[in-house]
């Protein structure tokens, strides 16, 4: 049984409850075990790295050190922003002993680097699990056109990650979507920034970037934009109505998490996957696959 | 950029350039102005100087202009520039360093709301160990004086069970607080 240390991050039981619900439902079906890191803290996100580099290393390092108390070799974080912080710590501290000492002097429990940071997408997109998913499909998503939106931080900058998906045209989520019977549409905005880090401070920029993404997805014929990041998801889903008002458009583009789509295909009830938690109604896309 | 005495500025601001190189760990002198970073930057349209120009201005020692730019506060940290730079410069990291240097130099005018947001965000993390969204929003709105900002999302969030009225406090709060305090001390030195 695959087993990982699990870092929910601050959004998985708040702004992204449906990501958490669907992740755990799908994991149960596939026999994947997620052990939550005990007493985890916030990774500091962009606010920490904008403010103080050492703080931005020490906050995630405390979490990685706590993960070392679990019987696991790898840690996953479903949030792209958290994931990139962990990968960054691993990258920097494995190359700089001095810095590692300095960071450890700030922690109660030292970080050794024993538990490696793994991409949450890879938990599902590795060939073995992909095969298992494909064989467990109860309700094929055939006919559903999906724009896979990776956002920035699951793939950029590639040097800090220990896997090799293409940062300009990643494939992990596309492969998952294909295994579910759905069709990932070719589109050029897979890793274009949605501006979420400015959502509260510069709405103009954020709205423009969201509009670009939604428009290109619509033009590509997508029924939904599927994401792997709670920050992007909230931005594209909850703020979609502001985008539509500002640009006089009507996208009504559902923005589910990829784990919700896996769950649908595995035959899990849409309610249990948190589809009702989405702001833009997913009813049409659910009808298309016979799940509503 | 107007008239500019190159050698004089270079000398006067040499230490600033060196400091940015040291703090960021990025050798900005490797930049050969291909402008790939600017071409892909999602914020470039709203910046006063695109990222490649910031790199050039840095190399020329134009400290004040760089630190007073809007660019460094528009940058969203998306890492597209870093990913594409053919000279292996982590430009996003340089932007982090520049924001920190701008705060140290007191050039906070253009970054006022971003700084207020980061302070409010980190304030809740320092107190509870985790982010507390409602606390962040209230603190941020109070400090920017825009009390109703994003208020329209409050009720729908609550109804969907996406907002918590109370913070979750972790057991290791004192450890987290210590991290904040110690890093602040180290920065001070
Ligand atoms: S991409 Fe790199 S080398 Fe090219 S202009 Fe930007 S910083 Fe300079
Ligand atoms: S990290 Fe900043 S400067 Fe670089 S591409 Fe993104 S927004 Fe532009």
pLDDT score recorded for residue B4:
62
Of residues B71 and A45, the one with the higher pLDDT is: B71
The answer, yes or no, to whether residue B163 has pLDDT greater than 80, is no
Q: The CATH number of A2-120 is which of 3.40.50.300, 1.20.1050.140, 2.60.40.1510, 3.30.390.30? A: 1.20.1050.140
- Mean pLDDT of all residues in A35-54: 92
The verdict on a CB contact (< 8 Å) between B74 and A58 is: no
Positions of CATH 1.20.1050.140 in chain A = 2-120
**Confidence grade of residue B8 (pLDDT, cut at 50, 70, 90):** low
Q: Which of A7, A9, A12, A14 to mutate to test the interface with B (most CBs of B within 10 A)?
A: A14
The two structure tokens encoding residue B23 = 């703090």
On whether residue B1 sits in a domain, the answer given is no
What ligand 2 atom has the least distance to the C-alpha of B79?
A: 1
How many C-beta atoms lie closer than 10 Å to residue A276's C-beta?
Answer: 12
Given B50, B80, B107, the domain boundary residue is B107
Using a 6 Å CB cutoff, which residues line ligand 1?
B 31-37, 52, 55, 85-87, 89, 91
Mean pLDDT to the nearest integer, B40-57: 97
pLDDT digits (tens, 9 = 90+) for A141-170: 999 999 999 999 999 999 999 877 899 999
In a domain, B127, yes or no: yes
Q: Do B180 and A50 count as a contact with CB atoms less than 8 A apart?
A: no
Which of B44, B75, B107 is the endpoint of a domain?
A: B107
Tokens of A215: 């428009």
Task: Check B163 against A14: CB less than 8 A apart.
Answer: yes
Q: Where residue B12 falls among pLDDT bands split at 50, 70, 90? A: low
* Per-residue model confidence as pLDDT tens digits over A221-240: 999 999 999 999 999 999 99
The Cα A14–Cα B163 span in angstroms is: 5
**Same domain as B144, residue B118:** yes
Model confidence band, residue B142 (pLDDT cutoffs 50, 70, 90): confident
* Nearest residue on chain B to A19, alpha-carbon basis: B162
Please report whether residue B85 resides in a domain: yes
User: For residue A178, is pLDDT > 60?
Assistant: yes
Ligand 1 centroid – CA B95 distance (Å) = 13
- Tell me, what's the pLDDT at B139? 78
**Given a cut of 70, is residue B147 above it in pLDDT?**
no
Q: Chain A closest CA to B95's CA: distance in Å?
A: 8
The DSSP element (H or E) to which A117 belongs, if any, is strand A116-118
Residues B103, B127 within the same domain: no
- The C-alpha angle with vertex A254 and arms to A252 and A255, in degrees rounded to 5, equals 135
Instruction: Name the residue with higher pLDDT: A282 or B143.
Output: A282
Percentage of chain B surpassing pLDDT 70?
89
Chain B nearest-CA distance from A259, in A, is 18
Query: Which class in CATH covers the domain with range A139-288?
Result: alpha beta
Neighbour-count burial for B50-83, b at 16+ CB within 10 Å, e otherwise: bbbbbbbbbebbbbebbbbbebbbbbbbbbbbbb
Per-residue pLDDT tens for B92-129? 999 999 999 999 999 999 989 889 888 888 898 999 99
Task: Give the integer Cα–Cα distance in Å for A131 and B103.
Answer: 51
d(CA A28, CA A259): 12
Chain centroid, CA A105 distance in Å: 31
- In terms of pLDDT, which residue wins out, B138 or A89? A89
Q: How would you write B144-167 as a 3-class SS string?
A: HCCCCCCHHHHHHHHHCCCCCCCC
Say how many Å lie between the first and final Cα of chain B, rounded. 35
Q: What is the pLDDT of residue B83?
A: 96
Across the interface, whether the CB atoms of A14 and B125 are under 8 A apart is answered no
| CATH number of the CATH domain containing B48 | 1.10.1060.10
Tell me the two tokens of residue A73: 């070799």
Q: Mutate which of B28, B50, B95, B96 to test ligand 2's pocket (most atoms within 8 Å of Cβ)? A: B95
Residues A230, A16: contact at Cβ < 8 Å? yes
> What pLDDT score does B9 carry?
62
β-pair type (A74-76, A32-36): unpaired
Ligand 2 atom nearest to CA at B37: 5
Q: Which helix (H) or strand (E) holds B104?
A: helix B91-104
Looking at the partner chain, which of B78, B156, B175 has a beta carbon nearest the beta carbon of A193?
A: B78
Is pLDDT of A35 > 90? yes
**Are residues B20 and B55 located together in one domain of the fold?**
yes
Tokens representing A206 are 């954020």
Buried b (16+ CB within 10 A) or exposed e, B97-122: bbbbbbbeeebbebbebbbbbbbbbb
Q: Per-residue confidence at A131, pLDDT binned at 50, 70, 90?
A: very high
Mind telling me how many Å the CA of A114 is from chain B's nearest CA?
Answer: 21
Same domain, B95 and B127: no
**Are the Cβ atoms of A209 and B129 closer than 8 angstroms?**
no
Q: Let me know whether B68 and B122 are in one domain.
A: no
Nearest-10 Cα torsion for B76, B78, B84, B87: 60
State the residue range of the domain holding B144: 111-188
ipTM of the complex: 0.93
What's the pLDDT score for residue B80?
A: 97
- Secondary element (H or E) of residue A34: strand A32-36
**Structural domain contains residue B20:** yes
| Distance in angstroms (rounded) separating the CA atoms of residues B83 and A166 | 11
Q: Considering only the beta carbons, identify the residue of A44, A52, A62 that sits closest to B100.
A: A52
Rounded CA separation A91/B74 (Å): 26
Q: What is the pTM of this model?
A: 0.93
- Residue A11, pLDDT > 90, answer no
Whole-angstrom Cα distance, residue B142 to residue A27? 41
Q: Is it the case that residue B164 has pLDDT exceeding 90? A: no
Q: Which of A25, A71, A82 is nearest to A48 (CA)?
A: A82
């Amino acid at each position: 049984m695959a087993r990982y240390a699990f870092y929910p991050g601050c959004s998985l039981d708040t702004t992204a409850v449906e990501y958490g619900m669907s992740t755990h439902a799908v994991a149960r079906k596939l026999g994947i075990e997620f052990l939550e890191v005990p007493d985890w803290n916030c990774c500091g996100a962009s606010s920490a790295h904008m403010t103080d580099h050492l703080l931005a290393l020490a906050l995630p390092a405390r979490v990685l050190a706590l993960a070392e108390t679990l019987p696991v070799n790898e840690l996953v974080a479903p949030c792209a922003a958290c994931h990139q912080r962990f990968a960054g710590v691993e990258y920097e501290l494995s190359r700089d002993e001095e810095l590692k000492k300095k960071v450890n002097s700030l922690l109660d429990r030292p970080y050794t680097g024993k538990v490696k940071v793994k991409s949450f997408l890879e938990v599902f997109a590795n060939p073995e699990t992909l095969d298992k998913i494909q064989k467990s499909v109860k309700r094929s998503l055939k006919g559903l056109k999906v724009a896979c939106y990776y956002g920035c931080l699951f793939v950029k900058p590639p040097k800090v990650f220990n896997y090799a998906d293409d940062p300009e045209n990643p494939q992990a989520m596309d492969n998952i979507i294909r295994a579910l019977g759905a069709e990932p549409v070719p589109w050029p905005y897979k890793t274009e920034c949605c501006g979420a880090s400015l959502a509260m401070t510069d709405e103009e920029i954020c709205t423009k970037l969201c509009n670009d993404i939604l428009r290109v997805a619509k033009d590509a014929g997508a029924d939904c934009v599927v994401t792997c990041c709670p920050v992007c998801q909230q931005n594209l889903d909850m703020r979609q109505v502001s985008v539509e008002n500002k640009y006089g458009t009507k996208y009504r583009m559902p923005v589910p998490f990829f784990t919700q789509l896996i769950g649908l295909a595995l035959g899990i009830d849409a309610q249990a996957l948190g589809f009702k938690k989405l702001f833009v109604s997913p009813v049409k896309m659910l009808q298309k696959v016979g799940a509503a | 950029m107007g008239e500019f005495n190159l050698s004089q500025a270079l000398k006067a601001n040499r230490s600033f350039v060196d400091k940015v190189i040291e703090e960021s760990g990025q050798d900005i002198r490797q930049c050969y102005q291909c402008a790939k970073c600017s071409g892909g930057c999602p914020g470039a349209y709203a910046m006063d100087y695109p990222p490649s120009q910031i790199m050039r201005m840095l190399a020329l020692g134009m400290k004040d202009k760089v630190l007073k730019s809007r660019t460094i506060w528009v940058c969203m940290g998306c890492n597209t520039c870093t990913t594409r730079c053919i000279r292996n410069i982590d430009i996003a990291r340089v932007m982090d360093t520049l924001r920190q240097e701008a705060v140290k130099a007191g050039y906070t005018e253009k970054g006022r709301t971003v700084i207020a947001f980061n302070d409010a965000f980190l304030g809740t993390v320092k107190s509870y160990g985790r982010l507390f969204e409602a606390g962040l929003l209230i603190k941020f709105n109070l400090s920017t004086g825009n009390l109703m900002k994003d208020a329209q999302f409050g009720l729908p969030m609550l109804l969907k069970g996406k907002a918590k009225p109370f913070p979750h406090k972790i057991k290791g709060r004192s450890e987290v607080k210590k991290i904040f305090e110690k890093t602040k001390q180290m920065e001070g030195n």
